[in-house]
Amino acid sequence: MARSTGPVIAAGAITAANELIFAPMAGQKITFNWRILPATAGLALALAGLEHLAPKFAMGLAWLALATVFIVPFGHAPTPLENASKALGYGTKVV
């Protein structure tokens, strides 16, 4: 297994968990976006191939993808940070 595969699988797992667990906890009805699974597998394969040519670049892209999952909404649900803040009771209410 390539070194870049771990962060990519973690990014896919966080995105899937966001739609299956965190979005319903925040009070949203979201259908699961099944395209997350093949997209994660395709990215893992592409970065594993790129790792043969430029290992540091492929690892950097993998970690960047993992960091991006937290702040950019992928799929049908808002970002995990938004869902976590809603589930914890923090909102955008202005008093």
pLDDT digits (tens, 9 = 90+) for 4-48: 999 999 999 999 988 888 888 777 787 888 899 999 999 999 999
The amino acid occupying position 86 is: K
Q: How far apart are the first and last CA of the chain?
A: 52
pLDDT(91) > 70: no
**Residue 39 three-state SS:** helix
- pLDDT for the residue 1: 80
pTM of the shown model: 0.84
Share of the chain above pLDDT 70, in %: 95
Length of the chain: 95
Residue with tokens 């492929």: 58
Domain parsing of the chain, residue ranges: 5-87
Dist CA 95 CA 93 (whole Å): 6
- pLDDT for the residue 25: 78
